[in-house]
Chains A and B, each alone.
Chain A
């Protein structure tokens, strides 16, 4: 059921039960609801009326095509450190964004005024902006066709809405996790944040598509710091929990309080770990680390707008260009590398029923056994690749990668969940350690940086281990690996099986001007890269 401001008043602000403010409950009382698909929301009649009114007004003002989003975003954050709650914050914003095409030129306007006059004015402002721009465009925007969805309803796959869980329960869990980490002697600081997002996305376009969707994401990051007795050194263990496109049930599965002592011990061990000797090593990357490397070195450079220069002024262009030279031809990685884009992947942070062009996403192959074969696209961009699709006998269709991070932002191409498929052999992390003679294993995201065409990247990790003779011998510190993207992916020589596949995710991937943030997951198995370049990042002056 969608929530209107009136409902919100009735069910949330004045009814403590619905606001989730109850006394601390036993966590076991929060067992997942019975299995089964969550009932998708129904669009409020008043919201539908506003959407259609804005479309009418846009057409009347001269738009040849338009879409409207009325979106509500709720965010809750509970920040703690040690035994203290630093802040409890609850954000709730609603507004309307109207996007129009006039003579093949875009215009956009957004307003928080959800009245017939308010959305009509936004529609007229969007048309006025598009009309003003016509003279400075010499190629018209054309949209690839998309099936009309007259009454689409969708909900992401969560079983417990985190906004229904008492704040007291969230505080209790965070403080219990901090306490468990602080039980380790050299651990002096531990902080846990409980972070939840719930979006209600109402959408309509002039093709006749009308959809309503409900999306939930959860993340409970934790950071643990060990400090040496003489206060000359410290080490941080973080990146312990992945964000997820699921609800409170996923938080319970991470077993924060039960795991935090182990994470604290890892921080303590890191404090006294030996510095890495720079050189070349076989590099075994855990999904919790490799996911970010896929994100930066594979997912970003295969965004089609980058390849055509549309992000040149900020995020950059791409080495996977020009499209007519690289599609079907660029050897991106080894035979073991098959990469798919998929916004229908269960639990993914970028998973959605219909994208912000009104397109149902599909799974599509980006890199097939090492060869680059397709880009991430929106309806505007699919036609840019018409020649390639004709050659492959594929229709010119969007892959469903249009996204706006707020009602106040214009939709553009954002990455789907971009994932590395597991290998055919049933290899686990332990099997892969055992198969490595002289190597380094890295877990968890660390420092990350990559150039504007996605060639040269440097990644650290949360934890690094030395592997000798097929065994982990202890932690290393100050470890980073430096890659040249295609060389690195061509050195992929061992890959885990389906059982070892995990979802990495990030809550905050930036792109665009003005900057927009999206959340996205990257699935992968552990993978090994032959003779990677390792540097030591510890420096005194």
Chain B
């Protein structure tokens, strides 16, 4: 590190006051890496960004911070051998060290029989609306003002405890290689999540808002929604676990349906170890796998998504339907597996959109004779990879519906259920909305929905 204290040390290729790499800076880094190559090929992936976060809990501000970083992963290619090295030293000297190290490892790595040649130049649809400058450079005072939307009412009444999290980020994603590929995407994101708990410990409510631009978030309304739900969920009663009709809010739908992304791998299906494996070999593409009401797709350019128009391999991403009216249309084909099976590579599922219907939440509830209204789900873990069965629990607002009306707050329950079974049992869907749960993960666009026979298996005392 002493080298970096030397005023003569090489300057970073990044401008000192810009955490989020510009396109010109990105091109310079890629060109530098390519010019340093001594083997057959080199590829670089860069992720650079700035995030500001603020937490509050127990009606107090807790921690707040701002973080900047830029990391480059350099992959050296020597025939069918390759190796990757990641560094956050983006000086010319640092990049050279990383290239040399990657090449040294690649020379000694075993040959990968499935190694694909580097992807050449591609055409991408730009997604300029993914970037909001004000969000990427938001200051601390603005975040604290937003937190007051929850702290102020909680402190006034003395009957509530609020805990929340604000996360704003600006980031650039860059891919480049010695075969001419160059991909650049810049995105911003603002997310607010809040949990309100009643002081007696019997009620808890959660709400969130997520957008590309900070200015689009409605803090007051989101805080109010969580507070209202905490009050309505007080003193829950136990009901017997079993199979129930459920009305899931969009967050709960996203919690379960986004799990499907990992099962869309064609290779695992073809190898006989996936819910989409076909008896006797092959996969279930072309088969009806869920209800005809269900269409599930990825689309980075959708106005509710606005994500990078390329995947980690550099493949352009357009709208890609995985399930269309209940029929499995395609599974995700990597370049290597596509080459082996004679298919066309699809690119990854970087976003998931479940097509909505026409029934708003109140109509979904009104159409339910007896069922359970669920705000969100928690701690989902795979139980059986053969069926995508997962377990998890309801959380922060679970209610009984009787004769089309929400009648009482009920205790949380554990379920053992598969998103595939859920989507097979769908009866009606609401309008789809952007869902963000505060972990900075891929954007999902989900409707509320009503489905029958959801399997709750045990009661929880947790509030």
Residue ranges of A at the interface with B (Cβ–Cβ < 8 Å) = 4-6, 8-9, 12-14, 16, 19, 21, 44-47, 49-50, 70, 84-95, 97, 105-116, 125-126, 128-130, 132-133, 135-139, 167-168, 171, 175, 188-189, 225, 227, 230-234, 236, 308-314, 316-317, 319, 408-410, 412, 447-456, 458, 460, 478, 480, 482, 484, 513-515, 535, 537-541
Task: Choose one: A133, A480, A484; the contact of B64 (CB below 8 Å).
Answer: A133
- A313 & B389 in contact (Cβ 8 Å cutoff): no
A410 with B66, Cβ < 8 A, contacts A312-B195, A452-B462, A537-B389 known: no
- B51 & A137 in contact (Cβ 8 Å cutoff): no
A5 with B163, Cβ < 8 A, contacts A107-B65, A452-B378, A515-B439 known: no
- B64 & A455 in contact (Cβ 8 Å cutoff): no
Chain B residue with minimal CB distance to A411?
B63
CB distance from B81 to the nearest CB of A (A): 9
- A129 & B112 in contact (Cβ 8 Å cutoff): no
Q: How far is the CA of A90 from the CA of B141 in the complex (A)?
A: 39
- A113 & B440 in contact (Cβ 8 Å cutoff): no
Residues of A within 8 A of B1 (CB): 4-6, 44, 46-47, 50, 70, 94, 114
Task: Choose one: A4, A92, A308, A319; the contact of B86 (CB below 8 Å).
Answer: A92
> Max chain B CB contacts within 10 Å: which of A136, A316, A409?
A136
Residues of A within 8 A of B5 (CB): 46, 49-50, 114-116
Task: Choose one: B53, B100, B139; the contact of A514 (CB below 8 Å).
Answer: B53
CB distance from A350 to the nearest CB of B (A): 21
Task: Choose one: A234, A514, A515; the contact of B272 (CB below 8 Å).
Answer: A234
A188 with B101, Cβ < 8 A, contacts A108-B63, A136-B56, A232-B279 known: no
Q: 30 A–B contact pairs at CB < 8 A? A: A5-B3, A14-B100, A19-B101, A46-B1, A70-B1, A84-B112, A89-B83, A89-B84, A95-B88, A106-B62, A108-B63, A108-B65, A109-B65, A110-B69, A112-B69, A113-B12, A138-B60, A167-B109, A188-B272, A225-B273, A231-B272, A231-B277, A231-B281, A309-B161, A408-B69, A449-B393, A452-B393, A455-B462, A458-B458, A482-B458
Residues of A within 8 A of B9 (CB): 115
Judged by a CB distance under 8 angstroms, whether B110 is at the interface is yes
Task: Choose one: B3, B61, B66, B273; the contact of A125 (CB below 8 Å).
Answer: B66
CB distance from A172 to the nearest CB of B (A): 9
Chain A residue with minimal CB distance to B196?
A312
Chain B residue with minimal CB distance to A110?
B67
Chain B residue with minimal CB distance to A485?
B461
Judged by a CB distance under 8 angstroms, whether B97 is at the interface is yes
> Max chain B CB contacts within 10 Å: which of A16, A19, A49, A112?
A112
Residues of A within 8 A of B457 (CB): 482, 535
Q: How far is the CA of A236 from the CA of B364 in the complex (A)?
A: 40
A111 with B2, Cβ < 8 A, contacts A231-B277, A449-B414 known: no
> Max chain B CB contacts within 10 Å: which of A46, A90, A126?
A90
- A314 & B438 in contact (Cβ 8 Å cutoff): yes
Residues of B within 8 A of A111 (CB): 68
Q: How far is the CA of A233 from the CA of B67 in the complex (A)?
A: 47
- B440 & A514 in contact (Cβ 8 Å cutoff): yes
- A167 & B108 in contact (Cβ 8 Å cutoff): yes
Residues of A within 8 A of B440 (CB): 514
A93 with B88, Cβ < 8 A, contacts A108-B65, A109-B65, A227-B272 known: yes
- B83 & A90 in contact (Cβ 8 Å cutoff): yes
- B109 & A171 in contact (Cβ 8 Å cutoff): yes
Residues of A within 8 A of B3 (CB): 4-6, 9
Chain B residue with minimal CB distance to A446?
B383
Residues of B within 8 A of A109 (CB): 65-67
Judged by a CB distance under 8 angstroms, whether B450 is at the interface is no
Give the interface segment out of B23-31, B36-44, B143-151: B143-151
- Complex interface bits, B407-445 against A, C-beta within 8 A gives 1, otherwise 0: 000001010101001001000000000000011100000
Residues of B within 8 A of A310 (CB): 57-58, 62, 163
- B85 & A89 in contact (Cβ 8 Å cutoff): yes
- B438 & A513 in contact (Cβ 8 Å cutoff): yes
Judged by a CB distance under 8 angstroms, whether B386 is at the interface is yes
CB distance from A170 to the nearest CB of B (A): 11
A449 with B64, Cβ < 8 A, contacts A93-B71, A128-B140, A312-B163 known: no
- A312 & B87 in contact (Cβ 8 Å cutoff): no
Q: How far is the CA of A232 from the CA of B87 in the complex (A)?
A: 44
Residues of B within 8 A of A94 (CB): 1, 88-89
Q: How far is the CA of A138 from the CA of B62 in the complex (A)?
A: 11
Name the interface residues of B192-209: CB closer than 8 Å to any CB of A: 193-195, 197, 204, 206
- A8 & B97 in contact (Cβ 8 Å cutoff): yes
Q: How far is the CA of A319 from the CA of B461 in the complex (A)?
A: 9
- A46 & B272 in contact (Cβ 8 Å cutoff): no
Residues of B within 8 A of A460 (CB): 383
Q: How far is the CA of A94 from the CA of B71 in the complex (A)?
A: 10
- A449 & B57 in contact (Cβ 8 Å cutoff): no
Residues of A within 8 A of B279 (CB): 230-232
Judged by a CB distance under 8 angstroms, whether B218 is at the interface is no
Q: How far is the CA of A67 from the CA of B183 in the complex (A)?
A: 39
Task: Choose one: A114, A171, A225; the contact of B4 (CB below 8 Å).
Answer: A114
> Max chain A CB contacts within 10 Å: which of B16, B68, B86, B106?
B68
Residues of B within 8 A of A115 (CB): 4-5, 9
Chain A residue with minimal CB distance to B226?
A313
Residues of B within 8 A of A448 (CB): 381
Residues of A within 8 A of B107 (CB): 21
Residues of B within 8 A of A449 (CB): 379-381, 391-393, 414
Judged by a CB distance under 8 angstroms, whether B165 is at the interface is yes
- B462 & A456 in contact (Cβ 8 Å cutoff): yes
CB distance from B343 to the nearest CB of A (A): 19
CB distance from B401 to the nearest CB of A (A): 22
Q: How far is the CA of A328 from the CA of B88 in the complex (A)?
A: 48
CB distance from B333 to the nearest CB of A (A): 17
Judged by a CB distance under 8 angstroms, whether B311 is at the interface is no
CB distance from B329 to the nearest CB of A (A): 22
Residues of A within 8 A of B120 (CB): none
Residues of B within 8 A of A167 (CB): 105, 108-109
- A453 & B104 in contact (Cβ 8 Å cutoff): no
- B104 & A451 in contact (Cβ 8 Å cutoff): no
Task: Choose one: B63, B70, B93; the contact of A410 (CB below 8 Å).
Answer: B63
Q: How far is the CA of A247 from the CA of B2 in the complex (A)?
A: 28
Task: Choose one: B61, B87, B378, B380; the contact of A137 (CB below 8 Å).
Answer: B61
Q: How far is the CA of A135 from the CA of B141 in the complex (A)?
A: 10
Residues of A within 8 A of B126 (CB): none
- A88 & B84 in contact (Cβ 8 Å cutoff): yes
Q: How far is the CA of A107 from the CA of B85 in the complex (A)?
A: 32
Judged by a CB distance under 8 angstroms, whether B385 is at the interface is yes
Residues of B within 8 A of A19 (CB): 101, 104-105
Residues of A within 8 A of B277 (CB): 231
- A21 & B383 in contact (Cβ 8 Å cutoff): no
Residues of A within 8 A of B62 (CB): 106, 310
Task: Choose one: B273, B439, B458; the contact of A189 (CB below 8 Å).
Answer: B273
Residues of A within 8 A of B54 (CB): 133
Chain B residue with minimal CB distance to A225?
B273
Q: How far is the CA of A8 from the CA of B101 in the complex (A)?
A: 11
Judged by a CB distance under 8 angstroms, whether B314 is at the interface is no
Q: Besides the contacts A412-B63, A453-B461, A456-B412, what 8 more A-B pairs have beta carbons closer than 8 Å? A: A13-B104, A50-B1, A84-B112, A106-B64, A167-B109, A313-B438, A319-B461, A449-B379
- Complex interface bits, B172-198 against A, C-beta within 8 A gives 1, otherwise 0: 000000000000000000000111010
> Max chain B CB contacts within 10 Å: which of A70, A175, A188, A313?
A313
A234 with B67, Cβ < 8 A, contacts A50-B5, A92-B87 known: no
Q: How far is the CA of A319 from the CA of B460 in the complex (A)?
A: 11
Residues of A within 8 A of B65 (CB): 107-110, 126, 129, 410
Residues of A within 8 A of B438 (CB): 313-314, 513
CB distance from B66 to the nearest CB of A (A): 5
